Amino acid sequence: EGLAASGLIQPGSLVENAYKVRLPAGASEADLKAIQDRAAKDFPEAGWSIRTRSNAAPALSSNIERFSQFLTLVGLTALVVGGVGVANAVRAYLDGKRGVIATFKSLGASGGFVFTIYLVQILLIAGVGIVAGLILGAAMPFAASAA
C-alpha cells in the first residue's frame, strides 16, 4: 500500500514483482508446463518470466550453453590447426624423400608403386601417433588426479 501511495509506480517505472506458487505435492513436469502455458494464454501482455524447478537459474543455463558452444568452436579450431600441421609434416617428409622417389622412378617404378609405398609409410607413422596419443590421453586424467 505504501508503494502505491508513493506514486512511484507509473508507466515506464522499473518494477518487478515476484510471486512464488506452491503446487500440490507430486506435480509433474507436464503440470508445470500446463500452468506456464495457461498463464501465457490468460495474460499475454504480462511479460512473465516463469522459473520452475527444472529451470531455476536460466542465466546459468544460458551461460553453460554459451560455454559449451565456445568449447566446440575451440575444439574445431584445434582440429583444423592440427590438420594443417599434419599436412605440413607429410609434405616435409615427402620433400626429404624426393631423392629416393627419383631413384625409384629412374629404376622403372610406376607412380602407383611409389604412391603405395609412401602411403603405407605415412599410414603406419600416423597409426603409431594415434596409438601414442590415445595412451597419453587416457593416462592424463590419472596423472592429473595424482598430482
Q: pLDDT by residue for the chain (147 residues), tens digit each?
A: 888 888 888 888 888 878 888 887 778 888 888 888 888 888 888 877 777 777 777 778 788 889 999 999 999 999 999 999 999 999 999 999 999 999 999 999 999 999 999 999 999 999 999 999 999 999 999 999 999
Per-residue confidence (pLDDT) for residue 30, from 0 to 100: 86
List, in order, residues 6 or more apart from 75 with CB less than 8 Å away.
Answer: none
Please tell me the predicted confidence (pLDDT) of residue 69: 95
CB 64 within 8 A of CB 56: no
Taking the C-alpha atoms of residue 38 and residue 98, their distance in angstroms, rounded to an integer, is 75
- pLDDT score of 99: 94
> Please, what is the Cα angle at 142 between 138 and 143, to 5 degrees?
105
Query: Cα dihedral sign for 91, 97, 103, 107?
Result: negative
Give residue 91's pLDDT.
94
What was the pLDDT predicted at 49? 77
Res 88: pLDDT? 95
Question: pTM of the entire structure?
Answer: 0.53
